[in-house]
Structure 1
Amino acid sequence: MSERVQRRTGATMVAAVLLGVGIMAALDEIVFHQVLAWHHFVETDNSALALASDGLLHTLELVMLVAGTALMLRLHETGQHAPGYRGAGFLLGMGGFQLFDGIVDHKILGLHQVRYVDNLVVYDLGWNLAGLLLLAIGYWLLRRARRGEALSQQ
């Protein structure tokens, strides 16, 4: 079997995206929900519900981390991982989570804000620009990996 056939770029991307989403969700949960106490996943006057919503986010993040790790380990174990795609998928997952959270959770669903301050625009811009930057770098790495793959097939 040739080297090209053995590499599973789609599975590598899925594993890396799951890991990226899981890590970014963990950073959000640990830093912004727990350490800084800026918000809960669902802001409400009911503190038990707010804490339970954080627990749900934490549970989903752990599921993603376990699933992504198991898949990536299996790919490494069988030699089927596509090395150029790991970083790309990881950063796309991180940026995707960040931007989804900033647009969907914060603005469309109104579950919570980044921080409850008078000048929210600065926090929203910082949050969403960070997500866009991660997505841009991830996309650049993905294009580089695809170019390298295309060159190796020639």
Structure 2
Amino acid sequence: MMDEIFTARRKTGYAVMGSAALGFALGGFFDGILLHQILQWHHLLSGLPKAAADLRFLIMTDGMFHLAMYGVAALGLVWLWRGRTRIAEDGTGGLGLAWAMIGFGSWHVVDAVLSHWLLGIHRIRMDSEAPLFWDILWLCLFGLGPILLGIWIKRGGRGSGFRSAPLVLAAITIAAGTMQAFPPAAEGPVVVLFRSGMAEAEVMAAIEAVDGVFAGSDATGTLWAIALPDGASAASLYAHGALVVSGAGLSAGCLDYVRAS
């Protein structure tokens, strides 16, 4: 009897830890997709002047952050699998939903306290004259709000009918991770970051190699806008010195929502 009780508690623990880890990873993916890619409010190290001056380094560190979130998500899936026999039982789904919300909010609390205020490596809106306002607003909406909701669900027994909540959470997290790696293709010219040290002649040769047309570049010559022929794959630029190509997927991600103007 004691062995059965211990086994049941252990599997419940795996289900809880898996839900919390997936919620935490989903919070990181939410941050990376929305703030780094779509809104482009900051990179991981935008608050450090020396790092902010090197776009290639910023993208590399963002990629490391995304890789860490994949690791947390993978760990959560393993734990969820080990607790799979408890997921379908009454109440476990609600418990999983509660801990997923707590995990999601915890990511934003950790990010706010550690990244924004203690280390100062970035703020929610780097271009704002009142960055503290955005930090606190984001913390309340996506940090404290989900945590309090998770506690309410857990203590009040709400959500006991959500037996499939952990499985739905796993599917959402996998979808978010896939979106991180394979973002929607950009329309019009693609924006390309070439490797360090490439001369202008080498860049033009790369554009010619893919039958592209030069459409513009930034003042520093770091980013290049290239119009590709219909049906051409933007990913082919990776074979000619590109580090990141908007809309091509499998990149560090932070240029994948940049639109050439």
TM-score band (shorter)? 0.7 to 0.9
The structure number with the bigger radius of gyration is 2
Alignment partner, residue 245 of structure 2: none
Q: 1:87 aligns with which of 97, 103, 125?
A: 97
- Equivalents in 1 of 2:26, 2:64: separation in Å? 15
Q: How high is the TM-score relative to the length of structure 2? A: 0.51
Query: Which residue does 2:73 correspond to in 1?
Result: 65
What is the number of equivalent residue pairs in this alignment?
A: 144
- Does residue 97 of structure 1 match 2:103? no
Choose from 139, 144, 151 the match for 2:151: 139
Segments of structure 1 that go 5 or more residues without pairing to the other structure are 149-154
% identical equivalent positions? 25
Please state whether the residue corresponding to 1:42 is helix, strand or coil.
Answer: coil
Point out the structure with the larger helix share: 1
1:30 to 18, 33, 51: 33
CA contact (8 A) 1:41 1:54 kept: yes
- Write the deviation string for residues 53-87 of structure 1: whole angstroms up to 9, x where unpaired: 111110011111122122213322xx133323201
TM-score using structure 1 length: 0.84
Q: Aligned pair 1:111/2:121, yes or no?
A: yes
Q: CA deviation at 1:121?
A: 2.8
**How far has the Cα of 1:127 moved from its partner?**
1.0
User: Residue type of the partner of 2:40?
Assistant: A
Equivalent position to 1:120, from 128, 131, 152: 131
Could you list the runs of 4 or more consecutive aligned residues of structure 1 that deviate by over 3 angstroms after TM superposition? none
- Alignment correspondent of 2:189: none
8 A contact 1:38–1:115 mirrored in 2: yes
Letter of the 2:132 partner, please give it. V
How far residue 142 of structure 1 moved from its aligned partner, in angstroms, is 2.1
Greater RCO between the two (CA within 8 Å, min separation 6)?
1
Match of 2:241 in 1: none
Which structure has greater strand proportion?
Answer: 2
2:132 and 2:56 map into 1 onto residues whose CA distance is: 29
